[in-house]
Amino acid sequence: MGIPKLLRSVLRGCWFSFWGRLFRLCYYDKKYCTGKWFAGKLGGLCSLGWEWTAKNGFARFLLGTNKGVRFPVSPRICVAAPQNIDFHPDDLNNFQTAGNYFQAIGKITIGRGTYIAPNVGLITANHDPADLDRHLPPKPIVLGEKCWIGMNSVILPGVTLGPGTVVGAGSVVTKSFPKGHCVIAGNPARLLREIPSEE
């Protein structure tokens, strides 16, 4: 006789919750282990947040990935200078996909409710063309609230995207669109259309 589905779910949740809480004590800032991803059934016991925290913690412990990052991040993501990344704990999901590169030599600000698809690069400092061993001075990247950054896109230094900006898959964003509420795409990204604001 098999284990009932609910019991399996509870046991799985207990396992992830135990290890997630342990790794939080070892590696993570408590403020990032709160919010919507840590709520849910049985007081958050079966939450996706604890699963991420446990899996990310095991990867850090066993493989040494993303050392020094104070929030749970998938071992399939590269985060440089994580202390320069500002985001709301409810947006922890942006650090659980695959192939993303957060190069935060300069500051990266991610607005609340923004979604970042896999294989996206956020680059705050380019190499100096005259000396590839050096970086040019960093410039901040600001993503407004409720933006959507499509798969395989690259956001380059100094770019500001206003709230509600949608970046089409595979785009290279070289300039700012601070007004927001628009769809941009291409290489280099250009305005395709505006999105009516709900306000």
Phi, then psi, of 151 in degrees rounded to 5 = -55, 140
Catalytic residue IDs: 127
All residues at 6 or more sequence positions from 195 whose CB lies less than 8 Å from its CB, including other chains: 164, 166, 181, 182, 183
| Token representation of residue 193 | 């259309």
**Angle between the N-to-C axes of helices 48-63 and 5-27, in degrees from 0 to 180, rounded to the nearest 10:** 50
Q: Hey, what are 165's tokens?
A: 């900006």
Please state, in angstroms and as integers, the Cα–Cα distance from residue 91 to each residue in 72, 73, 120, 133, following that order.
Answer: 11, 12, 15, 34
Backbone angles phi, psi at 60, to 5 degrees: -65, -45
Tokens matching residue 199: 């306000």
Our CA angle for 84, 90, 93, nearest 5°, is 80
